[in-house]
Amino acid sequence: MTSIDPSPRAAARAEVVDAPTMLRAAGLRVTTQRSAVLDVLRQSAHVAVDELHERVHEQIPGIALQTVHGIVNDITAAGIAQRVSLPGASSSLYELARGDNHHHVQCVVCGRVEDVDCVVGEAPCLAPNHNHDMRILEASVTFRGICADCE
């Protein structure tokens, strides 16, 4: 399920993204395929690999699904994108990494996913009552509800 994020934050993100610069800064080779995947992520938030493939395929007809999987793995490992795993979702979604510790809200009826700013304070936003001798790096919170369109 894809959601075009109309927020001002998304618009600012869309203006800032320069695929070749991001790829070079991460030490990745600039290719047409990688740039196309980043362009789709820039335009949309929370995209599954199969939809990324579909949308990139419109620009590059010969691109294989496995190639898109490889690109997503590369740009995620490089910190350019991040994986969003949601309860009940059939596959992971991907978004451009924002360098923050934001969370998500998900409609349990239609599957729409939107970003939610950090819940309280600074990253990791939430602290467990017992850390089991681990240094906490992040907190991943998914709010689940029913959107106004599905109500």
Confirm whether residue 125 is marked as ligand binding.
no
- Percent of the chain that is helix, strand, coil (3-state, to 5): 35, 15, 50
Residue 110 in marked binding region: yes
Amino acid at 61: P
118 is in an annotated binding site: no
First vs last C-alpha separation in the chain:
18
Point out the annotated binding site for Zn(2+).
Answer: 107, 110, 147, 150
Point out the annotated binding site.
Answer: 107, 110, 122, 147, 150
Point out the annotated binding site for Fe cation.
Answer: 122
